[in-house]
Structure 1
């Protein structure tokens, strides 16, 4: 498999260097940042190359694609569901994912909890918040996040581990710094409430075009696809 996909190794080295520099700006180390490789529409051979180079966390946007790749890629790695999740598809991924990043409504949380109870599992989730207010983005409104989290805290088979957001796409990352600082501030406010079963351990924010600014603002999970695997081919 060497040769054809060597660019993935080079890209990963560059990404890790960039993560290290951004982490240093916020007084942290590269090891403090979880790199989730976004493998949406990426062929299994490329994903396996990334795993061979040390990637352990894989993020998928679509349930069907995650399920297919889960069966094909028989490697020691963790799967993250990072895209919008429909309630009727929870059952397909409940036993496969390490972390669901995109819980944005109580009905979804309740379904995850029900499915988790059936298999005797505690499921780790992040609450997705739409900090920017973009209508095209999923996520709870910032002003509704605390109330949603209070309700979710009563679901015994869920563990809220933090927050996630998606910034508007821009070629100027500084233009969306407010999104990342906003999520961090919200996380701090929620932490102060000391809600049972709620832990603001993770801030999942930042993608290929803006992850350095996100890290500077406190991200400890970044979701990177294009910068690692190259431009995607959408079908």
Structure 2
């Protein structure tokens, strides 16, 4: 898939409009309200100057995989008022950094990490919206909780008052097999529905954070409420996905 690189405010507006048109079309195909789907722009590897133009074009919340990268961007762009979502794997010793500036965390995958975040949040007197990451592809190397362990983790999160569970998140398998990708999204939707049947409060709003530049239309067709889109807005990245979506094997 070819991605058009944006540098100017006008170029960012064009890319954002194009992505929004694709979101709307996918929602209409699925009989869904396009307004119910949130676009989460992802600015990893993008320079401060280009991010400022993206913000001027309408980006009000940006997503980053690496906490250290997000940390310096937050400091550099403090004057813009942009909000930050951390969407990549987090080590427990970086919990304090997320608590310091993030509005959302999309990759909660263990109780120990949840407890570390909760301690920091309690000390800071604030709360954090989180999505529980589930490994729907069955790849042993990929981060995310095993679907069978999801009920226990969600029940344990009830005791952590500073974490607001909004729903579930997944990364589809990296493959050209679109049906295999679609199955990952279907699994997450099924898990959300099963958790609601078990106890509606377990998954909060029950939102599904799934779909990236290469597959967000399929994700919307399968129920995505939040799509995390980077390259379709900013352009092709100079580094491979493996640099920004580390596996458990790493």
1:170–1:209 contact (8 Å) kept in structure 2: no
**Separation in 2, partners of 1:146, 1:9:** 41
**Separation in 2, partners of 1:19, 1:196:** 28
- Structure 1 match to 2:40: 36
SS of match in other structure, 1:95: helix
Residue by residue, what CA displacement relative to the aligned partner does 1:111-134 show, whole Å, maximum 9, x if unpaired? Answer: 010001001112111100001111
**Separation in 1, partners of 2:67, 2:158:** 25
**Separation in 2, partners of 1:183, 1:189:** 10
- Structure 2 match to 1:23: 27
Q: For structure 1, which runs of at least 5 residues remain unmatched after alignment?
A: none
Shift of residue 137 of structure 1?
A: 1.4
In the superposition, the TM-score normalised over structure 2's length comes to 0.88
Structure 1 stretch displaced more, 67-76 or 204-213: 67-76
- Structure 2 match to 1:47: 51
Number of corresponding residues: 233
Structure with bigger strand share is 1
- Structure 2 match to 1:201: 206
2:13–2:58 contact (8 Å) kept in structure 1: no
Structure 1 stretch displaced more, 83-92 or 72-81: 72-81
Shift of residue 20 of structure 1?
A: 0.3
Shift of residue 30 of structure 1?
A: 2.4
Residue by residue, what CA displacement relative to the aligned partner does 1:89-123 show, whole Å, maximum 9, x if unpaired? Answer: 01012031111000000000000100010011121
**Residue 67 in 1 paired to residue 79 in 2?**
no
Structure 1 residues 180 and 197: CA distance shift in structure 2, 3 A: closer
In the superposition, the TM-score normalised over structure 1's length comes to 0.93
